[in-house]
Structure 1
Amino acid sequence: MAKTNVAQFFREVRQEASKVTWPTRRETTVSTIMVFVMVFLAAIFFFLVDQVLAFAVKLLLGIGG
């Protein structure tokens, strides 16, 4: 494995970082909104599944009405 000095390492890091394509502010905003929407939908889904399963367990055990 080749040894590189600290200065060479940071030059290479800077060179690689310049190749990164950063998202625009709009892309970041849209992605963030979509994450919140999906989290909300997942929360609703799991809440409903939990309610159905709780109802089924109560029926099976005879403790529900």
Structure 2
Amino acid sequence: MSFSPGKFLHDVRTEAERVTWPTRRATFVTTGAVLAMAGLASIFFFVVDQLIGLGVRQLFGLGG
């Protein structure tokens, strides 16, 4: 079996033409949603971490 770089590139181009690419607007909306969810998740986990830390300090009487 031989490898032909020219045929490979032709096949890659053919497959890339079949792809349904998202619009610029869809890309921005999706990126915004991902960033918003990451921000909300970070705030949520920060609050949970603080509450757990407070509970542990109260339970063991640490850190006045």
Q: TM-score, normalised on structure 2?
A: 0.88
1:26 aligns with 25
Q: Taking every aligned residue pair, what percent have the same amino acid on both sides?
A: 48
Extract unaligned runs of 5+ from structure 2: none
Extract unaligned runs of 5+ from structure 1: none
4+ residue segments displaced more than 3 Å? none
- CA RMSD after TM alignment: 1.3
- One-letter amino acid matched to 1:35: V
Larger % of helix: which? 2
2:16 aligns with 17
Deviation at 1:36, TM superposition (A): 1.4
**Looking at both structures, which has the greater relative contact order when contacts are Cα pairs under 8 Å and sequence separation is at least 6?**
1
